[in-house]
Structure 1
């Protein structure tokens, strides 16, 4: 029986989660359907644009993403501190860009005079919106529902477009986060729709490479901030160039026609997380088959089970991340 979403997402344990949404009824999110011959490639734009738009409104950062033919991968970071810093007006303005809100919140934004009782109701409503704007379930709902409506109109049908539930995995530590990000960024290479990471359309790694050529980082994605230090900004505590090198080297091993004697254990990231060459290849290329539920090292899993005795853990993944 599927576990309630509230038991799968616990910010007290980790703010990082890997989420996957899959299509139903042989529906194609994008790409060409070999059976019908229809081309749905344009839908990649729909999902990527919607995803990056939501990052501007939610206090949820996107670490990695990949838009595939009938499913999408996203690695998300919930920024609880950011959400709590927003004023009531900021919260409501963000929410109104996604939903209509209530008559009272609309009056508040217009600047109408409102008695104390109404203002108290607005404040309570804003707190509800604040919680939703840092809620992964609401993020995935606001990502998937507009795409489903557009696809149903285009397909001339009604009913479900996505599976009822999106899959989520808690990423407990740096090793799990980096392995999952690499797995997501390398999806197009594994299914042979791309030859190199930097040419993988509609992925976070391509967007990062394009920005890196200009000595920048994509503003829509969670930035790499370098090694951990005091008073560091919010971001992924590795150097961007190290991550791109790691993904590139891993991609060469993934491609059968490009196999070579590449010692990935020399990567600065692998040195920091203590991973071996063999274990890295296994987990970063087979993340879903080797892991489910909660992902992390043996030590991270022990800490997690202490607070969540009913959690579904994977010792195989813990071994690989050792």
Structure 2
């Protein structure tokens, strides 16, 4: 958007932990220069005995940072800020404050948040259809889908079959595109409307009513200010973090089973 951005992230700590030491350093060097010792390490040059502890420390630090949201946002925001300051011929802070993040606790929360982000340009009257919304992952998915592909940079939709599948979003891409398209039409025309039966396959699996779906994808940012999920998932999340109070539990009603 013109003054902010939204990112829906899948943090794969297990993958980061499975990388070899040299893979960790190679990934880090794609972002930063590293140290003299780490550069020697990837070149298979001799590491002196007194440098080994420093190397191990750097690798452990890099491994942690490569699956850290704060470091991801730093790598994303700094180049944008530098570019904007260069264009405006100024210095200083570009972003108003630190980023805000919310935990998405279940499939319904993930898909609703994704659709909310995809439809941001529609709500802002910057685009008429999702596929014409610039700088959205949905536009990338549509372009790739026309070629029978999925974008390599995005987590893929892998359909309903979960066994022996690669990591991805456990819904059919076609169903998601149809659902977001019809949701965008309703939001754009500011009418109550209805989600067709063909586009509501995902809502059926999520046991979510069409009214709740429209409400969430229209007002996600206003409804949720903390972890997002059903009351059961929120309870488990709070217990895991040893929190006594379930803040924001009132909004769970929009993600509960429709009756």
> The TM-score by the shorter chain falls in which range?
over 0.9
Q: Which has the higher strand share?
A: 1
Counterpart CA distance in 2 for 1:78 and 1:94 is: 15
Q: Contact between 1:73 and 1:184, CA under 8 Å: does it hold in 2?
A: yes
CA deviations 1:5-38 (Å, max 9, x no partner) are: xxxxxxxxxxxxxxxxxxxxxxxxxxxxxxxxxx
Gaps in structure 1 of 5+ consecutive residues = 1-67
Deviation at 1:163, TM superposition (A): 2.3
Q: Contact between 1:265 and 1:271, CA under 8 Å: does it hold in 2?
A: no
Q: Contact between 2:155 and 2:168, CA under 8 Å: does it hold in 1?
A: yes
Q: Which has the higher helix share?
A: 2
Cα distance change of structure 1 residues 286 and 304 upon mapping to structure 2, 3 Å threshold:
same
Counterpart CA distance in 1 for 2:207 and 2:85 is: 47
Partner of residue 66, structure 2: 133
Partner of residue 249, structure 2: 315
Give the total of aligned pairs. 255
Give runs of aligned pairs for residues 295-314 of structure 1, distance below 5 A: 295-308=228-241, 309=243, 313-314=247-248
Partner of residue 137, structure 2: 204
Partner of residue 234, structure 1: 167
Partner of residue 24, structure 1: none
Give runs of aligned pairs for residues 123-162 of structure 1, distance below 5 A: 123-162=56-95
Q: Contact between 1:88 and 1:126, CA under 8 Å: does it hold in 2?
A: yes
CA deviations 1:38-84 (Å, max 9, x no partner) are: xxxxxxxxxxxxxxxxxxxxxxxxxxxxxx01000000000112111
Q: Contact between 2:182 and 2:199, CA under 8 Å: does it hold in 1?
A: no
Deviation at 1:310, TM superposition (A): 5.8
Deviation at 1:209, TM superposition (A): 0.3
Deviation at 1:229, TM superposition (A): 2.2
Cα distance change of structure 1 residues 117 and 312 upon mapping to structure 2, 3 Å threshold:
farther
Counterpart CA distance in 2 for 1:285 and 1:223 is: 24
CA deviations 1:191-219 (Å, max 9, x no partner) are: 10000001111100000000000010000
Q: Contact between 1:296 and 1:321, CA under 8 Å: does it hold in 2?
A: yes
Deviation at 1:120, TM superposition (A): 3.8
Counterpart CA distance in 1 for 2:171 and 2:246 is: 29
Partner of residue 165, structure 1: 98
**Whose relative contact order is higher, 1 or 2, with alpha carbons under 8 Å and at least 6 apart?**
1
Partner of residue 113, structure 1: 46
SS of 2:8's equivalent? strand
Partner of residue 122, structure 2: 189
Cα distance change of structure 1 residues 279 and 260 upon mapping to structure 2, 3 Å threshold:
closer
Is 1:248 matched with 2:166? no
TM-score (norm 2): 0.93
Q: Contact between 2:182 and 2:195, CA under 8 Å: does it hold in 1?
A: yes
